[in-house]
Structure 1
Amino acid sequence: MHHVTDQAHGDPPHGSASRWWLLVPATIAGACLAGALVPASTWIDFFSHDLRVQRNGGEIIQETIEGVRLWRLMLVGLAGGIIMVTWWLASLGRTRQVVELEPVPQPRWPWIPWILMLLGAMVRIQRINESLWYDEISSLIDFSIFGPGASMGSYFTQSNHVLNSVLVWMTTSLTGSYDEWVIRLPALIAGILSIKVIYEFTRLARGEDAAIFAGLLACFAPVMILESVEARGYSLVIFFTAASCWAFLSARRSRDWRTWLLYAMCLSLGTWAHMVAACVGIAQGLYAMVRVLDARDRAWSLQAMMSIALAGIASVTLYAPLLPDLLSIRETFTASQSVQPTLIGMEGLMTLLQVGGSWTVMASIIPILVVIAGCVAGSGDRTARMGILVSGLCLPVAIVLIVLGDTWVYARFLLMVMPAVSLCFGIGIQAIAGTSRTLAYTCLLLACGGWVYVSLTLPPKQPLYDSIAYVLEEDPATGRIATIGLLDNVFGFYVPDSMQVVETGLHGSELQAALENAPASWVIVTYPDSVVEGGYEVLEQMGFVHATTLHGWVDWGNGNIMIYRLDR
Structure 2
Amino acid sequence: MNKQKIHSRILFSFLVLVSFALRIYRLNQGLWYDEILTLEKFLRLPWNEIIISLPLPNNHILYSLLARLCIVVFGEKEWSVRLPSFMIGGFTPAIAYLVLRKRFSEFSAFFSGLFLALNFWMVWFSQDARGYSGMVLFTLLSQIFFLKWMEQRKARTAMYYLVCSVFACWFHLYSVFVILAQAAFGFFKWLWRRRAQSALIFLLPMLSLFFASLLYVPGALDLFSYIGKEGRDLGGRWLDLNFLQEVFKLCAGSHLLWTALVCFSLAVLGFSRIYKDASEIFWIYLLSVVLLIVFTATLRVFIYARFLAFLIPVFALALALGIEGFSHALFSANIRLKRLAIGFLLIAVSLSLLISLNRYYRLGKQGLKDAAMYIQANYPLARVISLGLARNEFLHYYPRAQPVYGQVQLDPSDISGKLVVASHPWSWAPWNQDMLERFCKKEMVWESAGYDENVVYLYNCLKSGVDFGAK
* Larger Rg belongs to: 1
- SS of the counterpart of 2:68? helix
Given the superposition, is the C-alpha separation of residues 229 and 155 from structure 1 closer, same or farther in structure 2, using an over 3 Å criterion? same
Equivalent pair of 1:198/1:419 in contact (CA under 8 Å): yes
Relative to structure 2, which stretch is displaced further, 529-538 or 328-337? 328-337
Deviation string, structure 1 residues 280-338 (Cα, Å, up to 9, x no partner):
11111122223335769945x6444232122111111010111122122231365457x
Given the superposition, is the C-alpha separation of residues 204 and 363 from structure 1 closer, same or farther in structure 2, using an over 3 Å criterion? same
Equivalent pair of 2:38/2:58 in contact (CA under 8 Å): yes
- For structure 1, the 5+ residue unaligned runs are 1-104
Given the superposition, is the C-alpha separation of residues 468 and 358 from structure 1 closer, same or farther in structure 2, using an over 3 Å criterion? same
Matches within 5 A, 1:169-248: 169-176=68-75, 178-248=76-146
Deviation string, structure 1 residues 330-374 (Cα, Å, up to 9, x no partner):
31365457x441111422221233332334313313321221111
For residues 437 and 185 of structure 2, the distance between their equivalents in structure 1, rounded to whole angstroms, comes to 59
- Post-superposition shift, 1:182? 1.0
Return the match for 1:501 from 401, 415, 424: 401
- Post-superposition shift, 1:513? 9.4
The answer as to 2:164 corresponding to 1:266 is yes
> What TM-score do you get using the length of structure 1 for normalisation?
0.74
Residue 40 of structure 2 corresponds to 141
The answer as to 2:62 corresponding to 1:163 is yes
Matches within 5 A, 1:99-498: 108-176=7-75, 178-292=76-190, 298=196, 302-332=199-229, 335=232, 339-381=235-277, 384-434=278-328, 435=332, 436-458=338-360, 459-478=363-382, 480-486=383-389, 489-495=392-398
Given the superposition, is the C-alpha separation of residues 416 and 511 from structure 1 closer, same or farther in structure 2, using an over 3 Å criterion? same
Deviation string, structure 1 residues 102-125 (Cα, Å, up to 9, x no partner):
xxx968432212211210111122
For residues 145 and 413 of structure 2, the distance between their equivalents in structure 1, rounded to whole angstroms, comes to 56
For residues 230 and 164 of structure 2, the distance between their equivalents in structure 1, rounded to whole angstroms, comes to 26
Relative to structure 2, which stretch is displaced further, 287-296 or 357-366? 287-296
Relative to structure 2, which stretch is displaced further, 361-370 or 531-540? 531-540
Equivalent pair of 1:221/1:448 in contact (CA under 8 Å): no
- Post-superposition shift, 1:540? 6.5
| 1:279 counterpart letter in structure 2 | F
Return the match for 1:527 from 404, 424, 445: 424
Given the superposition, is the C-alpha separation of residues 134 and 336 from structure 1 closer, same or farther in structure 2, using an over 3 Å criterion? closer
Equivalent pair of 1:392/1:417 in contact (CA under 8 Å): no
- SS of the counterpart of 1:483? strand
Equivalent pair of 1:552/1:559 in contact (CA under 8 Å): yes
For residues 419 and 231 of structure 2, the distance between their equivalents in structure 1, rounded to whole angstroms, comes to 36
- Post-superposition shift, 1:196? 2.3
For residues 281 and 448 of structure 2, the distance between their equivalents in structure 1, rounded to whole angstroms, comes to 36
> What TM-score do you get using the length of structure 2 for normalisation?
0.88
- Post-superposition shift, 1:425? 2.0
Given the superposition, is the C-alpha separation of residues 483 and 461 from structure 1 closer, same or farther in structure 2, using an over 3 Å criterion? same
Relative to structure 2, which stretch is displaced further, 287-296 or 394-403? 287-296
- SS of the counterpart of 2:103? helix
- For structure 2, the 5+ residue unaligned runs are 333-337, 465-471
Residue 8 of structure 1 corresponds to none
For residues 472 and 531 of structure 1, the distance between their equivalents in structure 2, rounded to whole angstroms, comes to 25
- SS of the counterpart of 1:500? coil
Deviation string, structure 1 residues 160-181 (Cα, Å, up to 9, x no partner):
22222222111111112x2211
| 1:399 counterpart letter in structure 2 | I
- Post-superposition shift, 1:389? 3.3
For residues 270 and 308 of structure 1, the distance between their equivalents in structure 2, rounded to whole angstroms, comes to 12
Matched-pair identity in %: 24
Relative to structure 2, which stretch is displaced further, 285-294 or 134-143? 285-294
| 2:251 counterpart letter in structure 1 | V
Equivalent pair of 1:197/1:242 in contact (CA under 8 Å): no
